[in-house]
Amino acid sequence: MDILTVGLAGIVALILILIISALPLYFAVKILGGDASVFKVLIVNLIVGIIGIAVNSHLIAFLLLIFVYKMMFRLSWISAFLAWVLQFVIAALLVALAIILGLGIAIV
């Protein structure tokens, strides 16, 4: 296998991981009636990640996260908070389903 093939496979894997990790938030926002697309969720995850790195206060970072959810997905404050909670519930359910179906990733 040459370096170009390995690099391309790495880029494809990274894109798939980013999309899969965005699905719980996407589903949470859709359930709550927000305006979401997979691309918008990816952008929001990037913004929230930058906020998490840039802000030292957990409370301020959390409030900014809820504000970003509110503005980007056109949600109320309560719905933005519920989207934050629901994304973890959905992620847990997806992980449980993957385990039940035997879709775990083996670490060598």
% of the chain surpassing 90 pLDDT: 68
Check residues 6 and 83 and name the one with the higher pLDDT: 83
Segment 51-64, tens digit of pLDDT: 999 999 999 999 99
Q: Go through the chain and tell me how many residues it has.
A: 108
Does the pLDDT at position 108 exceed 50? Answer: no
pTM for this predicted structure: 0.84
Q: Are 102 and 35 in contact (CB under 8 A)?
A: no
Beta-carbon contacts of 22 under 8 Å, excluding residues fewer than 6 positions away, are: 38, 41, 42, 45
> Scanning the structure block, which residue is given the tokens 């519920």?
82
Cβ atoms within 10 Å of 83's Cβ, excluding its own = 25
Segment 67-89, tens digit of pLDDT: 999 999 999 999 999 999 999 99
**Structure confidence at residue 105 as a pLDDT band (50, 70, 90):** low
C-alpha to C-alpha distance for 24 and 88, rounded to whole angstroms: 7
CA angle 40, 27, 86 (to 5 degrees): 110
